[in-house]
Amino acid sequence: MKKPHRPQAGRSEARSEAAAGLAVTALSFLASEPDRLAGFLAETGLGPQSLRAAARQPGFLLGVLEYVSNDESLLLAFAEASGLDPQDIARAREALGGRPGHTGAA
Which residues, including other chains, have CB under 8 Å from residue 98's CB and lie 6 or more apart? 62, 65, 66, 90
**Rounded distance, CA 69 to CA 29, Å?**
13
- Give the count of beta carbons closer than 10 Å to the beta carbon of residue 104: 20
Amino acid symbol at 56: R
Backbone angles phi, psi at 79, to 5 degrees: -60, -45
pLDDT score, position 104:
46
Cα–Cα distance between 41 and 35 in angstroms, integer? Answer: 10
pLDDT at 11 (0 to 100): 76
pLDDT of residue 12: 81
Q: Which pLDDT tens digits describe the chain residue by residue (106 residues)? A: 555 555 566 778 888 999 999 999 999 999 999 999 999 999 999 998 899 899 888 899 999 999 999 999 999 999 999 999 999 999 999 999 865 554 444 3
